[in-house]
């Protein structure tokens, strides 16, 4: 398996950043967080065009891990990805993580709860749209995440890729 461009998507609180950081250490790839493209250095919201341009510039690089939403750029990323990971733990767990992390910020908890209905369909469609050359994984729990990390270890990958 050629894990040089890894796309990680899923709802708020799904564990995307957690997995991206571990894969980065494991594979030696830079991590790009879509949330970082949303605001400029002064905390000001960027335009959709600026956000999309930033994410597309990351996707054009030779190696990366890009984690996060912005479904407008899903096709740009999946067309170059070698690995696609959909983080899909149970809704209650995502909501709990968001509530704890964001100190019961109602808006964040609400969007975490609504994610599946509003954006989950787009996540499923991009998994379906990924070409045959893209390794696809759906991570539903910690066991799945740890199995994926073990599967993508450089030693195992080099044995499988030879």
Domain 5-157 - what CATH class?
Answer: alpha beta
- pLDDT, tens digit, 9 for 90 and up, residues 24-38: 999 999 999 999 999
pLDDT over threshold 50, residue 15: yes
The token duo for 53 is 């341009």
37-41 average pLDDT score? 91
**Per-residue pLDDT band at 155 (split at 50, 70, 90):** low
Instruction: Give the pLDDT of residue 162.
Output: 33
Strands in 64-67's sheet, in edge-to-edge order, are: 31-33, 64-67, 5-10, 83-87, 135-139
DSSP 14: S
84-104 average pLDDT score? 95
């Amino acid at each position: 398996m050629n894990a040089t461009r890894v796309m990680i998507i899923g709802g708020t609180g799904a564990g995307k950043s957690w997995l991206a950081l571990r894969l980065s250490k494991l594979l030696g790839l830079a991590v790009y967080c879509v949330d970082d493209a949303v605001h400029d250095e002064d905390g000001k919201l960027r335009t959709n065009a600026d956000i999309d341009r930033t994410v597309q510039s990351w996707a054009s690089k030779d190696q990366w891990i890009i984690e996060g939403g912005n479904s407008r750029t899903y096709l740009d990323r999946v067309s170059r990805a070698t690995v696609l990971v959909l983080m899909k733990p149970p809704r209650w767990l995502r909501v709990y993580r968001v509530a704890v992390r964001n100190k019961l910020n109602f808006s964040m908890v609400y969007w975490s709860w609504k994610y599946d209905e509003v954006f989950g369909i787009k996540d499923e469609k991009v998994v379906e749209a990924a070409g045959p050359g893209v390794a696809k994984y759906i991570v539903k729990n910690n066991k799945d995440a740890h199995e994926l990390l073990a599967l993508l270890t450089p030693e195992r990958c080099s044995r499988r890729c030879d």
